[in-house]
Chains A and B, each alone.
Chain A
Amino acid sequence: DIQMTQSPSSLSASVGDRITITCQASQDITKYLSWYQKKPGKAPKLLIYDGSNLETGVPSRFSGSGSGSVFTFAISSLQPEDVATYYCQQYDSVPFTFGPGTTVNIK
């Protein structure tokens, strides 16, 4: 199975800050990685797919980059509504594993 790790596990930043989250796969997954936003009591929401493609309707302050085994997710200007847990998921090979999540809070 491909193991997914995320760093940091949590972070606090000020409104307007740029934040980044790193997701590392235990082997090459080419570009097949998605990023999801999860708020308590809400369904996960797709933000980024195929490593860097912004899902329709998602604000442009969200972005993704990377390929192979290391990927980066960024929020260019953190907003209060971005408080959530963010998960990466690989869909290159079965099982389609998720990372452990990164909790983002406002400082």
Chain B
Amino acid sequence: EVQLVESGGGLVQPGRSLRLSCVASGFTFGDYAMSWVRQTPGKGLEWVSSISWNGGTILYAGSVKGRFTISRDNAKNSLSLQMNSLRPEDTALYYCAKGGTTSCFSRLDVWGQGTTVIVSS
């Protein structure tokens, strides 16, 4: 069964850091691009960041560029999102999602259940 399991969410003060992780199983992780997408409370979906199959292409939304860093370890079937200088507007449910191809420019065909990040003092 193809599965993505996120972890690392929690309550954090503004300006602090948090690291999200996503562990994949049931498919050849290194063959696909991966992404993070978030859903803010009561609102819709917002794409955050994507990384290609080998890490050669990394893309960010403007709202997180310079603060968030996406990375992957294909040997460990894992995806990470290092979030620094967190702001209240980063409060959201963060989803890890598998791309349909090696490229970041692709559909998201498998999603995890999400991990919640709350940024508040």
Contact = CB atoms under 8 A, between A and B. Distances in A.
B23 interface: no
Given A49-B100, A94-B59, A34 B107 contact: yes
Interface stretch (A14-22, A38-46, A69-77): A38-46
B111 interface: yes
Given A43-B111, A46-B109, A49-B100, A89 B44 contact: no
A41 to B, nearest CB: 9
Contacts of B95: 43-44
Interface residues of A, number: 25
B45 A38 contact: yes
Given A34-B107, A43-B95, A87-B44, 14 more contacts: A36-B108, A43-B111, A44-B37, A44-B95, A44-B111, A45-B111, A46-B107, A89-B45, A91-B106, A94-B59, A95-B61, A95-B62, A97-B47, A101-B44
B50 interface: yes
Interface residues of B, number: 23
Given A49-B100, A49-B107, A44 B45 contact: yes
Q: Determine which residue in B45, B95, B112 has the highest number of CB atoms from chain A within 10 A of its CB, and name it.
A: B45
